[in-house]
A and B are shown apart, each in its own frame.
Chain A
Amino acid sequence: MEWTDEQIVQRTLNGEVDAFGILVRRWEKKVYGLAYRMLGHYEDARDTTQEIFLTVYRNLRKFRGDAKFSSWLYRIALNCCHNRLRERALQTVPLDESPPVPVDASAHSQVERQQKIERVRRALRALPYEMRQVIIMKEYEGLTFKEIADILNIPVSTAKTRLYTGLDQLRERLLAVKDAL
């Protein structure tokens, strides 16, 4: 039987430090994906992902069972990303760093795909933070509007409004680039 997130949290709190590793393995891809898409920076995303899980571990006793662990985790992840973006805003670092390109990326189709991804990444980064996070949570994390509203502590209608406005702006930005879509 697979342990639920809440059960793993309880086991960790009971002293099984290794149990927390199960949570990390279970959520690292989604958390890293969220961080990378929010930050648009490979190293920042990697460091922020570590910071997110450390924050979760240190605050595990504050987790209340009345909410889903995933919602709590996403809330912490977004806070950490927000803090990292504010720190970055004070520094002069390249914001459009691409992730490592695979060795077999020499094929034309692969290059073309990478170019499309890069355009999407830039367009997302250009969006206001509030719209960007809703698009990422909806499009890439597959959360429902209700879950997004709970995580951001906003009405469901507001979540939908932000998504529509964000997609609308994203459309304008990507349509301005030829063959982006």
Chain B
Amino acid sequence: MSDHHEKLMDYLYQELSPEEARRFEDHLGTCEMCQKDLADFRQLREALAAWNIEEVPHISLTIDGSPSRHWFALWKAFPIWLRLTTTAAAALLILALFNVQMSYRPQEGFRFSASLWPRAELPAVEQPQPEPVGLTEEQVAALIRAAIAQAQQQTSERMTAEIEALAAKLRSENERLLVQMADTLRQEQEERLAELEDQLGQPSTVSTLAELFWEEPNSGY
């Protein structure tokens, strides 16, 4: 389809700007085909326009508005305070239907639970009594003193036990060293004795021993 056909449609239904219309009219003056089309289509439009529908049958609509739609329309007609009240009541009703339970504990925060069936009553559990709070300064000082004394006592006992253990260890070490020294002395004495016995078997040695263990009878005593 040529551009002239599109322009012809625009011109026929007056959708051209004045400048475009003038230019197309210039074209029309030289194009017999477009002239014929325009003449035929204008005649055709007159024929089409004759089909004018004057009477419209009654259009009956059965809008099956859902119940929720009617309830919503009713709710919209309420004043604001009544809307809030009905909304809160509906919310409570829903919570009750689902057995919603809410609880709050300082350590755990809010807790929610829900069930379709009512839950059995649980036996009461004794909760530990919380420590009293809000001590006076004297009470706090006494508590601190008691804690310090207890710590000192524990430290003293621990040190005493360590000292005793160390002393026992030292005693044991001393005994071991004494036994070792005694053994060494005995061994040395035995070796010495053995040497002496060897020397006793020789004459020169006997006089020497006599000189060692006995005094001369005429030594002046």
- List of B residues within 8 angstroms of A53 by Cβ: 59, 61
Contacting residue for B40 out of A57, A144, A171, CB 8 A: A171
- List of A residues within 8 angstroms of B49 by Cβ: 139
Please tell me the size bucket of the interface on A.
Answer: 35 or more
Residue of B nearest to A37 (CB): B51
Number of A-B residue pairs having CB atoms within 8 Å of each other in the complex: 94
Mark out the residues of chain A between 96 and 115 whose CB falls within 8 Å of any chain B CB in the assembled complex: 99, 113
Whether B50 lies near A167 (C-beta < 8 A) is no
B7-15, B120-128, B190-198: which lies at the A interface? B7-15
- List of B residues within 8 angstroms of A139 by Cβ: 45, 48-49
> What 0/1 pattern do residues 3 to 31 of B give for CB contact below 8 A with A?
00110111001010000000000000000
Cα(A29)–Cα(B46), bound, Å = 21
> What 0/1 pattern do residues 44 to 77 of B give for CB contact below 8 A with A?
1111111101011101110101000100110010
Interface of B with A (CB < 8 Å)? 1, 5-6, 8-10, 13, 15, 37, 40-41, 43-51, 53, 55-57, 59-61, 63, 65, 69, 72-73, 76
Contacting residue for A167 out of B1, B44, B69, B73, CB 8 A: B44
Mark out the residues of chain A between 72 and 100 whose CB falls within 8 Å of any chain B CB in the assembled complex: 99
- List of A residues within 8 angstroms of B10 by Cβ: 145, 160
- List of A residues within 8 angstroms of B51 by Cβ: 37, 117, 120-121, 140
Residue of B nearest to A180 (CB): B47
Cα(A174)–Cα(B51), bound, Å = 14
Contacting residue for B59 out of A28, A99, A138, A164, CB 8 A: A28
Mark out the residues of chain A between 42 and 63 whose CB falls within 8 Å of any chain B CB in the assembled complex: 42, 46, 49-50, 53-54, 57
